[in-house]
Amino acid sequence: MKIRVGYEMIYDFPQPTPMIMVLGTHFTRASDVIVPDHLTTSPSVPITPYRDGFGNWCSRIVAPAGRLHLAADGMVRDSGLPDVVVPSAIQHAVEDLPADTLVYLLGSRYCETDRLSDDAWRLFQNTTPGWPRVQAICDFVHGHIAFGYEHARATMTALEVFNEGKGVCRDYAHLAIAFCRCMNIPARYCTGYLGDIGMPPPWAAGDFAGWFEAYIGGRWYTFDARNNIPRIGRVLIAQGRDASDVPITQTFGPNTLVSFRVWTDEVKEGA
């Protein structure tokens, strides 16, 4: 299947303002890209690309004073299959984990493992290690949090989500990640495109999505505590310890987001 992905964001800046963006399809999907979703700006400004410490491609600009239009419109090839499910995937002993996964056992800005450890062990110590344990965490988080955009808060942490029982997709991911790490399972935050392909209507308005990956069975597997079912057409943009590592845009000065639109649409064959 082919999926059209893209976005349009309009900002107002009172003064020239540095800006970092993490917006392109992840390099692990490079072979699937049919039409690159290159970032464009209006007015045109110099764009400097770089790779961050997690391997994500990022872009730097200095936004001019006034209105700035950011956009991309690309197309990727996808298997059309739902997220992989491997119930037999084992949990690794910490001493057997690859060195590059260890950072994803540690606490981070939005995932306070030290403050959630007792609750995690109380809730999940009797679950079967490996895939069943991660799925039990997703089941709990999915049922514990009430979804609503009105609950979104930029400072919301996993502990606050646990205590308040409400949030948006990134909050589901943060709480599940924190619980996994407390149970000695490496877990990392993912951001990307996720439309409603294969889902019955009514369909939600387009948006970027947050989910997570857990390292079990010798590789990283996708989990999504918000939806809690395998989904079709997930297009990764970036990975990090939590959302603080992979904000879609990071501005270094005052601004107003005037307009925001995202699309993730299946393209019928022959189109």
Question: Taking the CB of residue 61, how many other CB atoms lie within 10 A of it?
Answer: 18
3-state secondary structure of 29: helix
pLDDT-derived band of residue 270, with 50, 70 and 90 as boundaries? Answer: low
| For residues 104-118, average pLDDT | 98
Cβ distance 19 to 267 under 8 Å? no
**What pLDDT does residue 7 have?**
97
**What pLDDT does residue 202 have?**
78
Cα separation, 125 vs 145, in Å, equals 21
**What pLDDT does residue 271 have?**
56
Residue 201 has pLDDT above 90, yes or no: no
Cβ distance 30 to 20 under 8 Å? no
- 21-35, 97-111, 131-145, 195-209: lowest mean pLDDT where? 195-209
**What pLDDT does residue 128 have?**
98
- Set out the domains of the chain in order of their start, with CATH numbers: 2-79+248-267 (2.60.40.2250), 94-231+238-243 (3.10.620.30)
pLDDT, averaged across the chain: 96
Classify residue 24 as exposed, middle or buried by CB count within 10 Å of its CB (0-12, 13-18, 19+). Answer: buried
DSSP state of 231: -
Read off the pLDDT of residues 148-161 as tens digits, 9 standing for 90 and up. 989 999 999 999 99
* pLDDT > 70 fraction of the chain, expressed in percent and rounded: 99
Cα separation, 235 vs 28, in Å, equals 10
HSE-up (13 A, CA, CB side) for residue 74 = 22
Q: Which residues contact 44 (CB under 8 A, 6 or more apart)?
A: none
Cβ distance 52 to 244 under 8 Å? no
pLDDT-derived band of residue 269, with 50, 70 and 90 as boundaries? Answer: confident
Cα separation, 193 vs 237, in Å, equals 7
**What pLDDT does residue 123 have?**
98
Question: Taking the CB of residue 188, how many other CB atoms lie within 10 A of it?
Answer: 24
Residue 86 has pLDDT above 70, yes or no: yes
pLDDT-derived band of residue 250, with 50, 70 and 90 as boundaries? Answer: very high
Residue listed under structure tokens 């308040």: 164
| For residues 217-244, average pLDDT | 97
